[in-house]
A and B are shown apart, each in its own frame.
Chain A
């Protein structure tokens, strides 16, 4: 059963009325209601990956967040310098919960904030000299660090520091990779350009630099899993049980060596297409490594993905795949048996980063929940093309929605659950709408794979059905006429 297309079109139009004309015209281009046609053709007129309107509460971050916070930061045996003033590093410190095995400060530097703490003199005279000293001091303080990345913050690019030259010099002197990453926050319109810049730096400075002693027919890479709450581990365990050999994990719990040997894999398996598609397409061109996107959220999508992955390999893997599915299916059925009756028909709205806004849909649907609106902070056209077929007719698909738009939609669609980030979370608590943080799994997780789905299901039930919501007298702004859902 679909949702009311016309009613939702009108709903969006009404909400946008609050804007001044210029902003209204712009914001209108960022909404689309799914129809039979868009669902099938995947064609969309929806605008994405363009600048946010000034003065609105955009959920977006910046390039630095995309590079340091997402791509480089989780590589555990390198030291990532937040190069510039103190803030950026401080705010991104440990917040994405990229789990990594190792000893913090000894052979694992993920949950640390290492910064050049720019002062006014560094802005006036440049920070290059300081960067040299920092690299030497890092070698001294962290003798087991395998390399350094320099994540540049806004001022570094604006004052014209030559971090490339310093990095080159220090790489030679310290005999390890020192990678300059030009991810200043003002570049691009969101985190997305930061992912691209970070990928390019991996390509240019580390890819293909090491060898793998022994290769095999089942060697694969996990690409675009940041191991939030242990996601990549819960995914890897399935691939390995199926008989594949994961030789590199990018970049959650990842190491420099894994980046350097990844070109030896037979297949790239990519989870977050948005943040690392640059990498797999490059590896396909440069090394002839085929790639495929997979989705390990919820059992339906996980079965589908496991089979699709197995289909790329031989009968042994395919048989193993069925064994793995047979092993976990009873557990998954039991989870669904318990939680589906409690969650059936609940309406969900999502606003997440670049893949989960569509990837998690299947997991909600496995629990009988319905996605009535979904959107991305920093997706591109190809993400939206992948989204339309996943959504019901009449559902709302939105790009870079502002806090105001989301709050209005949440109330008027009378949703039962909102999934977004920490900036949004407490607003929904005031409104009496159950909320899960879907960037960091709300300090829970993992949510990937079969082990992850158990926690996902438990968390959604806990959130939607907690009695606390009964204590709030919800003043619902539900549509009166032609209720859309």
Chain B
């Protein structure tokens, strides 16, 4: 058997073979394609300033948005609690999409069920689906809590979750004392981060109310603990990093909403549906904690209001702490909340990261960067760019929620940019999509784009390398396992970015062959 006969080309190679090239050409006679000239003109036009102007004038169509919808965030939030089964009330396709989408990012299973509403539910409401659904879900998947969120369908027909869940208890579908938390999360409001917030806030609120406890911050056994909330967190590694930091402080803490267990579970020969998560009993007790540390303040808007309002706690709000300065702030916030000094081990770690920054600065200084992502992530990324001497140029946030556009977020971004001469080139685009970004990249070129896998098309059209950071990352493996927050995260981000720059240098090198950089 010769090697040649068993040559098995992959799809990239196979379709470049002459016979497939011919097939492609031959097929055109039936396609009624546009002429090559028309195509060349359209391509050139799509890259022009004139096109960009029209692109930014469009009012209605959204092309390649950088956001998902509310219930997806709710499913992630629910998976942050011990033995909690997410239950999506509405059409079943939504739930399939959430499960697929999250699994594609984490390369992990996403257990979640749906009430599978169809036409008859559209007419009569989804109550019987809810009752049967809760009974089946509890019998089959043995959760200790079910967290219900709604889809568009349930919201448009106006299903009443409180009444439905109450009726399910009355009919004996679930036990009286079985916790079912719920949130209204229509996809036509906000985005995945709004849905995350709604579900976290409601889980805290509803479990606390059920417990009959009274909020008394700083009292009892919880009184020395810190609550920590990471938000819609696509990096399981960030949970490990925040634990490391808090442990270094030697402070006690409760992470409220920790899905890292579910999205980083071991292969042991058995699958168990539920891994890790915040213990349900710890949730009401968190009302007595010393204070709360929030790492995605724009994402967790309602949750913070609840914690400071009802639990009457001191809340320290940050955006995703990316880079050295943001980590300094994080440590200062922990110090302030706990009264503990910053541990020497972390100060030492900081020094090592700054040393690494210094080593890499020649390759990062003055690099023009485009950024796309969620509000808190973007604030973190901008801070990181500014402190290593990279220049953010296009900053794009599709999450056009009024909260962010209503100036607060944009103002904060602009204030941050104003703190550094490296921020002077930047423009912030709220509510814009990745087709806008394409025009920006083509008309005002940059050296690097930073964003999710969805940014790859715009980046490719513009010939710009993409540094994958954020959600979703579908086309690279295990990036979510490495933290990007804290000093270690800063080092990881630095490594990722500088090595893409160095790859670029090597790819473009003209034959001199530098070995050492």
Task: Give A contacts to B, CB under 8 Å.
Answer: 18-20, 22-23, 51-65, 77, 81, 84-88, 90-93, 95, 99, 101, 103-107, 111-120, 122-123, 130, 133-134, 137-138, 140-141, 143-144, 146, 153-155, 157-159, 185-189, 191, 210, 212, 229-230, 233-234, 236-237, 240, 246-249, 253, 255-258, 261, 330-331, 334-335, 337-338, 402-404, 407, 421-427, 429-432, 444-446, 451, 454-455, 458, 472-476
A404 → chain B closest CB, angstroms: 5
Considering the complex of A and B, which 10 residue pairs feature the smallest CB-CB distances, nearest first? Answer: A62-B93, A87-B69, A55-B133, A54-B133, A55-B136, A91-B97, A257-B32, A55-B137, A85-B187, A133-B60
Q: Tell me which of B43, B62, B63, B153 contacts A186 (CB under 8 A).
A: B153
Selected A-B contacts with CB under 8 Å, 27 pairs: A18-B140, A52-B92, A55-B136, A56-B136, A63-B93, A84-B152, A90-B101, A112-B64, A112-B457, A114-B62, A115-B65, A122-B188, A140-B58, A141-B61, A154-B153, A186-B91, A234-B14, A240-B23, A248-B30, A334-B1, A334-B6, A421-B100, A422-B103, A423-B96, A426-B103, A458-B8, A474-B269
Beta-carbon contact of A20 and B92 below 8 Å = no
Beta-carbon contact of A331 and B43 below 8 Å = no
B316 at the interface (CB under 8 A from A): no
Q: Which chain A residues border B404 with CB–CB below 8 Å?
A: none
Beta-carbon contact of A107 and B33 below 8 Å = yes
B139 at the interface (CB under 8 A from A): yes
Among B112-120, B215-223, B331-339, B495-503, the stretch in contact with A: B112-120
Q: Tell me which of A61, A187, A429, A451 contacts B267 (CB under 8 A).
A: A429
Beta-carbon contact of A472 and B116 below 8 Å = no
B70 → chain A closest CB, angstroms: 8
Q: Which chain B residues border A52 with CB–CB below 8 Å?
A: 92, 116
Bound Cα distance from A153 to B449, whole angstroms: 32
Beta-carbon contact of B96 and A61 below 8 Å = yes
Bound Cα distance from A425 to B458, whole angstroms: 30
Q: Which chain B residues border A186 with CB–CB below 8 Å?
A: 90-91, 117-119, 121-122, 153
Q: Tell me which of B34, B46, B91 contacts A105 (CB under 8 A).
A: B46
Beta-carbon contact of B26 and A240 below 8 Å = yes
Bound Cα distance from A117 to B189, whole angstroms: 10
Task: Give B contacts to A, CB under 8 Å.
Answer: 1, 5-6, 8, 10-11, 14-15, 19-20, 23-24, 26-27, 30-34, 38-39, 42-43, 45-46, 54-55, 58-65, 67-69, 71-72, 87, 90-94, 96-101, 103-104, 107-119, 121-122, 129-130, 132-141, 151-153, 156-157, 186-189, 191, 265-272, 435, 438, 454, 457, 461
Bound Cα distance from A169 to B191, whole angstroms: 32
Q: Which chain A residues border B45 with CB–CB below 8 Å?
A: 143
Beta-carbon contact of B130 and A473 below 8 Å = no
Beta-carbon contact of A86 and B6 below 8 Å = no
Q: Tell me which of B6, B61, B67, B109 contacts A338 (CB under 8 A).
A: B6
Q: Which chain B residues border A153 with CB–CB below 8 Å?
A: 152
Q: Tell me which of B54, B113, B270 contacts A56 (CB under 8 A).
A: B113
Q: Which chain A residues border B15 with CB–CB below 8 Å?
A: 99, 230, 233
Q: Could you say which of B122, B136, B435 has the most chain A C-beta atoms within 10 Å of its C-beta? A: B136
Q: Which chain B residues border A115 with CB–CB below 8 Å?
A: 61-62, 65
Bound Cα distance from A90 to B101, whole angstroms: 9
For B96, give the chain A residue with the smallest CB separation: A61
Known: A77-B31, A229-B11. A158 touches B62 (CB 8 A): no
Beta-carbon contact of B42 and A143 below 8 Å = yes
Bound Cα distance from A55 to B128, whole angstroms: 11
Bound Cα distance from A474 to B271, whole angstroms: 11
Beta-carbon contact of B93 and A134 below 8 Å = no
Beta-carbon contact of A116 and B61 below 8 Å = yes
Bound Cα distance from A76 to B26, whole angstroms: 17
State the majority secondary structure of interface residues on B.
helix
Beta-carbon contact of B115 and A426 below 8 Å = no
Beta-carbon contact of B189 and A120 below 8 Å = yes
B244 → chain A closest CB, angstroms: 26
Bound Cα distance from A288 to B412, whole angstroms: 67
Q: Tell me which of B115, B136, B157 contacts A158 (CB under 8 A).
A: B157
Q: Which chain A residues border B98 with CB–CB below 8 Å?
A: 91
Beta-carbon contact of B67 and A86 below 8 Å = yes
Beta-carbon contact of A86 and B14 below 8 Å = no
Known: A104-B457, A255-B32. A53 touches B118 (CB 8 A): no
Beta-carbon contact of B139 and A187 below 8 Å = no
Q: Which chain A residues border B435 with CB–CB below 8 Å?
A: 105, 141
Q: Which chain B residues border A19 with CB–CB below 8 Å?
A: 136, 139-140
Apart from the given pairs A430-B265, A444-B11, 9 other A-B contacts in the complex at a CB distance below 8 Å: A20-B139, A55-B140, A111-B457, A116-B60, A158-B122, A159-B156, A185-B93, A255-B30, A257-B32
For B472, give the chain A residue with the smallest CB separation: A90
Q: Which chain B residues border A120 with CB–CB below 8 Å?
A: 186, 188-189
Q: Which chain B residues border A85 with CB–CB below 8 Å?
A: 69, 152, 186-188
B121 → chain A closest CB, angstroms: 7
Q: Which chain B residues border A421 with CB–CB below 8 Å?
A: 100
Bound Cα distance from A191 to B6, whole angstroms: 38
Beta-carbon contact of B103 and A425 below 8 Å = yes
Bound Cα distance from A186 to B67, whole angstroms: 23
Beta-carbon contact of A407 and B271 below 8 Å = yes
Bound Cα distance from A87 to B72, whole angstroms: 9
Beta-carbon contact of B91 and A23 below 8 Å = no
Bound Cα distance from A143 to B50, whole angstroms: 14
B39 → chain A closest CB, angstroms: 6
Q: Could you say which of A84, A107, A111 has the most chain B C-beta atoms within 10 Å of its C-beta? A: A107
